[in-house]
Structure 1
Amino acid sequence: MAKLVVHVDGGARGNPGPAAAAAVLSEPGGEVVDEAAEVLGEATNNVAEYRGLLLGLRRARELGATEVEVVNDSQLVARQVGGEYKVKHAAMKPLHAEAMALLGGFEAWSIRSVPRAQNARADELVNAALDGA
């Protein structure tokens, strides 16, 4: 499996509040090959977004992907990982560092943010995790 498209999301109800992260991995043609979600406990929305990214990257590596196209609905995370923004918040620095280390394990990677509607399945998984489904 060479390339995977990795849709990731994270969310907190309240900020901070109960939080969850999710990832949906698919082949470039759109066939979903893996989905995962995890409840994070108390976290901020931005921390949850990073945790979704980490979850997706770990799953992609486990599936043997050599290239990932990360899609999320957090402009902040996409711009920090893409190098446009600096990571200033102390709680996000180690998450950013871990994401960059994981991304370094792939031959190629990209990240972009899209409107939430284009990240609907990952968003659904986050909400299902928060609802206890």
Structure 2
Amino acid sequence: MKGQAIENFLAHHLGSDESIPEAVEIPVYEIKEPFWILKFDGFSTEGTVGAGVVIISPIGVKTSLSFNLDFPCTNNQAEYEALVIRLEILKDLEAKSVRLIGDSQLVLRQVFGEYKCTSLTFAPYFTSASQLADDFEEINFQYVPRHQNWEANELAQIAFGLRRLQGRTERDFTVP
């Protein structure tokens, strides 16, 4: 009895054939691969050089790294070192889209062609960074002031506090 009632209802309430669309247009959206985010900073003084980097995967996994560079170089060279090594890591991870965030206008703008690299000191770094940048499908940069790049800056300073003593690595921290 209930089945017959449903059948009768449907038979009397179906729309005419004209109300059924012949084609339905469904929008298609291109989904781009989310960006890997690379925050980097270098720190240099007369005796020690440090580099810090934060890598954030497209799904939000954050990796923080500090490196003590065991050769003398300027702040800008340390910035380039941080950038080049991290681009190599992202290349190995097969990242396709990368957003670079740093507080060195010189390094970022040289790599992206806004400034010319005329320094023989920076030329090898510039060449390496530019070649690595070409390996990504999409790469862009964002300059931020140092206080907004605090994570990478602190990592560079932690690396700066590392020093080699008789084959061991120790950290120098000042406790208030």
Normalising by structure 1, report the TM-score: 0.89
Q: CA deviation at 1:30?
A: 4.8
Aligned pairs for 1:76-87 within 5 A = 76-87=106-117
Could you tell me which residue of structure 1 aligns to residue 149 of structure 2? 119
SS at match of 1:51: helix
Could you tell me which residue of structure 1 aligns to residue 44 of structure 2? 12
Amino acid across the alignment from 2:116: K
Residues 39, 152 of structure 2: 8 Å contact kept: yes
Could you tell me which residue of structure 2 aligns to residue 55 of structure 1? 85
SS at match of 1:43: coil
Q: CA deviation at 1:27?
A: 3.1
Aligned mates of 1:122, 1:98 — CA distance in 2:
21
Higher-RCO chain (CA-CA 8 Å, sequence separation at least 6): 1
Structure 1 spans left out of the alignment, 5+ residues: none
Aligned pairs for 1:30-109 within 5 A = 30-32=60-62, 34-40=63-69, 41-109=71-139
Q: CA deviation at 1:8?
A: 0.7
CA RMSD in angstroms, aligned pairs only: 1.7
Amino acid across the alignment from 1:71: I
Question: Quick one: percent identity of the two aligned structures?
Answer: 35
Aligned mates of 1:24, 1:62 — CA distance in 2:
16
Aligned mates of 2:135, 2:34 — CA distance in 1:
13
Larger Rg, first or second structure (1 or 2): 2
Residues 66, 107 of structure 1: 8 Å contact kept: yes
Amino acid across the alignment from 1:45: N
- Aligned residue-pair number: 130
Distance 1:24 1:125, change over 3 A: same
